[in-house]
């Protein structure tokens, strides 16, 4: 006899849940973000609908970046929460060992655990992610300096600006990892038996999400896709978000507020005043260092090394349940 407390997802097909989630995310954005932007910034309805990417790009480079970051955070949290509780209905699952072990955490704690926010034994992965971004960006910066494509002209010490920027980066990293790895990739792994296909699709969606970023070009989109692959690598083995979150946070904060480059085309107050010059293929142009050929080569190298390391470490472990880390 089946457990009367057991609830299965409203839609058993995980790919359908991803599709509906994308639609709901856009709908919630229209219902919440658009009115908020219009009310606070004075942007007209025709401006937003006539050229949505252009309007968003203008806001990202203007004085209302804080508003878009807070809206992204709120919409991500709301949309994932709604789907987790009402569509996936994971909070009511019984009879599964991994849920029985988490019942003492409460329903909210179970949600965060199921979405991949349990640190537990994943500290080594979190530390690896935190230092990986600065390492790759540092190597790319050295390459630019040696080739004569970069000069730092000044140092501007403003601890308040750095602290605010760190908060921005934390919100951005949390929002995007929650959506693209915690919900979308999680469901894609349930859809496809081949984890690499699931990872590639999530990376493509992550790339498309940044379509309106200022200064985008072909190489920038290639690197965004590679970044989506790198961010999801650990998740396809562990279903834990701490590696990707710390990588995302460390990358953005080190690239923009510390080194002085644009972050996906967006300028932040920075400690070092960077002055890239020369070939767009080397500097990344207005998109920033992450749009350069140097970064593409480093991302590919990091992906190959980490894919080998995670495959060797986790091997036959399936991503259907959170895998416990044994340390690096």
Q: What is the pLDDT of residues 29-73, one digit of tens each?
A: 989 988 998 888 887 777 776 777 777 777 777 788 999 999 999
* Residue 1 falls inside a structural domain: no
CA 111 to chain centre: 19
> Does residue 215 lie in a domain region?
yes
Rounded Cα gap, residues 59 and 21, in angstroms: 25
| 3 state DSSP class of 275 | strand
Answer yes or no: is 326 within a domain.
no
The overall longest dimension of the chain from CA atoms, in Å, is 72
For residue 42, the model assigns a pLDDT of 82
Q: Please check whether residue 5 lies inside any domain of the structure.
A: no
Is residue 4 in some structural domain?
no
Residue 46 is predicted with a pLDDT of 73
The pLDDT value recorded for residue 34 is 85
The pLDDT of residue 57: 77
pLDDT at 41: 84
Q: Is residue 27 situated within a structural domain?
A: yes
Phi/psi of residue 212, each to 5°? -90, 5
Low-confidence ranges of the chain (pLDDT < 70): 1-7, 49, 90-108, 316-328
DSSP lists the bridge partners of residue 276 as: 150
pLDDT for position 107 = 63
How many structural domains is the chain composed of?
Answer: 1
The H-assigned helical ranges of 178-257 are 186-191, 195-209, 218-233, 235-238, 242-253
Residue 309 lies in a domain: yes
**Residue span of the structural domain in which 175 resides:** 14-314
Q: Residue 325: what pLDDT?
A: 53
> What is the reported pLDDT for 114?
85
Q: What's the predicted TM-score (pTM) here?
A: 0.89
């Amino acid at each position: 006899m089946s457990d009367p407390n057991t609830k299965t997802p409203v839609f058993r097909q995980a790919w359908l849940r991803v599709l509906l989630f994308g639609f709901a995310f856009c709908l919630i954005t229209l219902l919440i973000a658009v009115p908020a932007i219009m009310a606070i910034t004075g942007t007209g309805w025709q401006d937003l609908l006539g050229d949505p990417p252009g309007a968003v790009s203008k806001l990202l480079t203007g004085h209302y970046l804080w508003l878009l970051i807070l809206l992204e955070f709120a919409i991500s949290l709301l949309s994932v929460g709604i789907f987790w509780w009402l569509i996936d209905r994971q909070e009511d699952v019984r009879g599964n060992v991994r849920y029985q072990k988490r019942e003492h955490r409460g329903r909210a704690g179970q949600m965060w655990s199921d979405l991949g926010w349990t640190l537990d034994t994943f500290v080594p992965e979190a530390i690896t992610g935190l230092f990986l971004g600065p390492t790759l960006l540092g190597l790319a910066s050295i390459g630019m300096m040696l080739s004569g494509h970069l000069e730092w002209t000044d140092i501007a010490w403003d601890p308040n600006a750095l602290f605010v920027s760190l908060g921005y980066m934390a919100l951005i990293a949390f929002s995007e990892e929650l959506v693209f790895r915690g919900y979308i990739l999680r469901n894609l792994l349930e859809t496809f038996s081949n984890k690499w296909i699931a990872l590639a699709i999530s990376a493509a969606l992550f790339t498309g999400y940044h379509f309106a970023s200022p200064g985008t070009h072909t190489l920038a989109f290639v690197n965004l896709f590679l970044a989506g692959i790198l961010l999801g690598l650990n998740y396809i083995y562990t279903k834990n978000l701490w590696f990707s979150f710390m990588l995302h946070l460390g990358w953005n904060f080190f690239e923009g507020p510390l080194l002085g480059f644009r972050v996906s085309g967006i300028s932040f107050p920075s400690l070092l005043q960077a002055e890239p010059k020369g070939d767009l293929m080397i500097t990344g142009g207005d998109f920033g260092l992450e749009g350069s050929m140097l970064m593409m080569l480093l991302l590919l190298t990091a992906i190959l090394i980490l894919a080998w390391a995670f495959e060797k470490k986790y091997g036959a472990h399936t991503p259907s349940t959170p895998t416990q880390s044994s340390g690096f």
